[in-house]
């Protein structure tokens, strides 16, 4: 799994393209309001070298066991929080054009993506 440093590098050094279920592509600025809740296919992160990675809006299961497929994605990193509250760091994005590194409780169900 990626470290939080790798997640931050992905956020800071790529162009993020939001893709809806119909295949329409949006910049971060265009995505806000253009992609309806539940209609986000995922985000393509493209680096300066032209290589890209697609992360689906796979949702996540939190304490309420809700699956936010098509609306949000929280993707685990391998980095734990410094505090003792059982949390870990993650990549977060939503259909509103928001992308950031966040944190969440490790007992919740978040997708993972392996890296080399």
* Rounded Cα distance, 8 and 40, in Å: 22
Judging by beta carbons within 10 Å of its beta carbon (0-12, 13-18, 19+), is residue 18 exposed, middle or buried?
buried
Q: What is the tally of helices (H) and strands (E) in the chain? A: 2, 7
Residue 115 pLDDT more than 80? no
- Note the pTM of the prediction, 2 decimals: 0.88
The string of pLDDT tens digits covering residues 9-53 is: 999 999 999 999 999 999 999 998 899 988 999 999 999 999 999
Contact 67, 53 (CB under 8 A): no
Query: Exposure of 75 by Cβ count < 10 A (0-12 exposed, 13-18 middle, 19+ buried)?
Result: buried
In the structure, what pLDDT confidence band is assigned to residue 66 with cuts at 50, 70 and 90? low
More confident call, 65 vs 86: 86
> What pLDDT does residue 30 have?
93
Give the whole-number percent of the chain exceeding pLDDT 90: 56
* Cα-Cα end-to-end distance for the chain: 9
Residue 36, number of CB atoms within 10 A of its CB: 12
Q: pLDDT > 70: what percent of the chain? A: 94
| pLDDT on residue 105 | 84
């Amino acid at each position: 799994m990626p470290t939080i440093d790798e997640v931050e590098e992905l956020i800071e050094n790529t162009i993020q393209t939001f893709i809806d279920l119909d295949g329409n592509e949006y910049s971060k600025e265009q995505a806000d309001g253009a992609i309806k809740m539940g209609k986000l296919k995922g985000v393509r992160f493209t680096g300066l070298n032209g290589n890209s990675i697609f992360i689906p809006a796979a949702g996540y299961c939190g304490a309420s066991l809700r699956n936010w497929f098509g609306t949000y994605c929280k993707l685990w990193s391998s980095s734990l929080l410094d505090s003792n509250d059982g949390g870990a760091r993650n990549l977060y994005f939503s259909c509103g054009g928001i992308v950031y590194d966040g944190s969440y409780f490790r007992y919740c169900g978040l997708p993972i993506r392996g890296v080399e």
